[in-house]
Copies of this chain bind each other. A is one copy, B any other.
Amino acid sequence: MHYPEPISKLIDSFMKLPGIGPKTAQRLAFYVLNMKEEDVVSFSKSLIEVKRELLYCSVCGHITDVDPCYICSDKTRDRSTLCVVQDTKDVIAMEKMREYRGLYHVLHGAISPMDGVGPEDINVPSLLERLKDDEIKEVILATNPNIEGETTAMYIQRLINPIGIKTTRPAQGLSIGGDLEYADEVTLSKAIAHRTEM
């Protein structure tokens, strides 16, 4: 035994986090040793709170401490547009933009036959249930622009098509602030194919 019991337990806990190996875990644990007591207490408390007080919104699937979440229960939002995303972090990214005023639907994953994830393993059935609501006029399929995301978007689009709701997908093209020469070929070819008139 090299460490006193409490510190070796803390190192083990830090090592359970993604991207944190033994050396970093040790460094963090020793750092905690010298942190202000109130900071450590608040850290310890919020860990438990995140685990115990947060749940997924029963309407959209976003994480929340009240059900339905603050977005679903916000009466000022545009209830005719629904943005479908893969992850709660995508909702946060969208909200940071401060432009989209519609509602969300979090799939919690994407269709990936390679990993054995089918449409029924992600929140697709609850999405179809929501679409029975007459209010929704447009579904933005904002899944990730990769194989799994595209597959998922395509699959959902085919399900929605017969219902007659408009489906859209965010534009694909060059990143703002990026360099043309560093854009990958697929992105560049999409950007050229979908060029817009000035």
A positions within 8 Å CB-CB of B: 1-7, 9-10, 12-14, 16-19, 24, 26-33, 35, 37, 39-54, 63-65, 69-70, 88-89, 92, 95-96
- In the bound complex, residues from chain B placing their C-beta under 8 Å from that of A42 are 9, 13
Give the nearest-CB partner of A92 in chain B: B2
B92 near A3: Cβ-Cβ < 8 Å: yes
Instruction: Determine the distance from Cα of A48 to Cα of B46 in the docked complex, in whole angstroms.
Output: 12
Which of B4, B30, B44 contacts A45 (CB under 8 A)? B44
CB distance from A85 to the nearest CB of B (A): 14
* B13, A29: Cβ atoms closer than 8 Å: no
Specify how many copies of this chain sit in the oligomer: 2
Give chain B nearest CB distance to A23 CB in angstroms.
10
17 further A-B pairs in the complex, CB-CB below 8 A; given A13-B46, A16-B39: A2-B92, A2-B96, A3-B92, A6-B49, A6-B54, A10-B46, A10-B47, A13-B39, A17-B28, A17-B32, A18-B31, A32-B47, A32-B50, A37-B51, A37-B52, A41-B51, A44-B45
Residues of B within 8 A of A35 (CB): 16, 51
